[in-house]
Structures are given as C-alpha cells and as structure tokens.
C-alpha cells in the first residue's frame, strides 16, 4: 500500500539543504524553501549565511538557542534580512547578525517592493546586531517583544508611521490609517556605541515593562519628536 507521512510541526531547515557556513556557502534558498513548504521552521545550532528571508502570515522561526543559532546576513541591499510582513508571525531563540557594519535592516515589513505591517506576532529571546536598523517596523498591532538584546545597531528599534530615510514622520494614526497599537515590550536590552538612538516608539496603548539603553552616544528612549501628531497611552515600568 501507499503511506502518506503527515507532519504538522516546524520543518527542519537542514532537510532542505541548509547548513553551517563551513559547509554551505549560502543557506538562503534552502531556508526559504523550508519556509515556503512548512511555514514554521526549526533551525538547529550553527551559523548560516543568508541574504533575505520572506515570511508571510502564519510562519516563523524557532531556533535551537539564541547563543548558538546564528543567521549571518550578507545583504547590502535595501531588503531586510528578515521580511516580517503579515499576521501571526513567530520568531524565537536565535541571533540575527549583519556581516557588514551598520548596513540595512534586520527586521522590516518590506517585500515585493512594498512596505506593509504585521500584527498578532511574537518576537522572543532574540539577539539582533550590526545593522543600521535592528528593527524598522510600521503598522504593528497586538505584537509582543520579549527578552530581546540589540547590540551595535545604529538605530536599534524604530517603530514609525511611514517609509523613507530619517527623520521619519512619527505619527500615531497618520496617513492611510498607519499606526502602531497595542504593543508589549518586556526585558529589552539595547546596547550600542553609536550616534544613533536607542529606541523610538510612537503609537497608542504601548506597554514597556523593562527596557535598558546602554552605551548609546545619541538619544535613549524617544517617544515623540517635532513631527509627531499625537502621543497615545503609554505604560512604562523599569526604564534604565
């Protein structure tokens, strides 16, 4: 008879040919194939070379550990290392690191030449380092950011209303209903040594429960600037 294997767990990227940089020169295609096949992927400990990975609604990454599962991005383009445009995305237990010095985006909801947003997503136990923007997000709703370490990014966290280059227009509602709303941040460490800012978050119903900015030569936590229209409801505990 014919047997059909039914499996609904996270897909191991090594099943599709991804591997340590010492063995596989570039794992982008293999990891993207795993994402396209199973949506949620599992990445064992190793260092993997990637350029750009695109995630759609209901997909994500489960690494084996933040310290030893490393995605090393060699992109020098405007594409983010990880495009997180969609809903119900999950990213846990890995390091995303740029192979270049302060170039491009780590996470951003940009793909197919268009900016979008994301909602109802979870980012947990991540380290993001070496990018111009560690996270460059917009139109984020009902997302959670937990146990995250940003290291040596020029701008670690940028939650903005529109696209472009700094200074952005940081609005609560903004044009076309773009906004950041109902976001939760917990145990966030932003550690740099740069003239950029630590974090800039504009929106409504924002809860920040434990955030530390360390060694930034520019600004720390920015909740508004001369361009913002309205500053929404914020709950801030344990800011260092």
- The 10s digit of each residue's pLDDT in 84-121 is 999 999 999 999 999 988 788 999 998 878 888 899 99
> Which bin fits 34, alpha (ψ -120 to 50), beta or left (φ > 0)?
alpha
Model confidence at 65, in pLDDT bands (50, 70, 90)?
very high
What is the rounded average pLDDT of the residues 186-199? 80
Above 50 in pLDDT, residue 171? no
Residue 59 has pLDDT above 80, yes or no: yes
pTM: 0.88
Tell me the average pLDDT across 13-32: 96
Amino acid 4: pLDDT: 58
Q: Taking Cα atoms as reference points, which of 222, 118, 110, 233 lies closest to residue 170?
A: 222
Pairwise CA distance, residues 96 & 133, whole Å: 12
- For residues 103 and 134, what is the distance between their CA atoms, to the nearest angstrom? 10
Radius of gyration of the chain (CA): 18
- Answer yes or no: are the C-beta atoms of 196 and 216 closer than 8 Å: yes
pLDDT tops 80 at residue 230: no
Q: What would you measure as the largest C-alpha separation in the chain, in angstroms?
A: 70
Per-residue pLDDT, 81 = 96
What is the tens place of the pLDDT at every residue in 179-189? Answer: 688 899 999 99
**The token pair that represents 95 in the structure block:** 């390091």
Mean pLDDT for the stretch of residues 2-14? 76
> What pLDDT is stored for residue 179 in this prediction?
67
CA gap 223, 199 in Å, rounded: 8
pLDDT tops 60 at residue 178 = no
Here the tokens at position 223 are 């909740």
Taken as a whole, the chain contains a residue count of 240
How much is the average pLDDT of 201-228?
73
Question: What are the φ and ψ backbone dihedral angles of 203, each rounded to 5 degrees?
Answer: 175, -155
In 3-state terms the chain splits into helix, strand, coil percentages (rounded to 5) of 10, 45, 45
């Amino acid at each position: 008879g014919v047997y059909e294997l039914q499996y609904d767990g996270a897909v191991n990227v090594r099943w599709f040919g991804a591997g340590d940089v010492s063995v596989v020169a570039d794992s982008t295609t293999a990891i993207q194939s795993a994402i396209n096949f199973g949506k949620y992927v599992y990445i064992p400990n190793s260092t993997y070379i990637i350029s750009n990975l695109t995630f759609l609604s209901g997909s994500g990454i489960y690494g084996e550990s933040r310290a030893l599962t490393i995605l090393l991005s060699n992109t020098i383009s405007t594409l983010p290392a990880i495009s997180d445009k969609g809903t119900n995305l999950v990213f846990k237990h890995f390091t995303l690191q740029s192979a270049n010095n302060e170039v491009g985006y780590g996470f951003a909801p940009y793909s197919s030449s268009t900016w979008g947003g994301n909602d109802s997503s979870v980012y947990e136990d991540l380290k993001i380092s070496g990018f111009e923007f560690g996270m460059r997000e917009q139109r984020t709703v009902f997302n959670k950011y937990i146990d995250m370490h940003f290291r040596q990014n020029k701008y670690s966290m940028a939650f903005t209303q529109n696209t472009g280059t700094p200074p952005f227009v940081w609005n609560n509602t903004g044009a076309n209903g773009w906004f950041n709303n109902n976001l939760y941040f917990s145990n966030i460490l932003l550690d740099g040594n740069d003239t950029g800012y630590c974090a800039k978050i504009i929106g409504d119903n924002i809860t920040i429960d434990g955030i530390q900015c360390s060694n930034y030569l520019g600004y720390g936590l920015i909740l508004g600037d001369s361009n913002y229209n309205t500053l929404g409801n914020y709950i801030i505990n344990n800011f260092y």
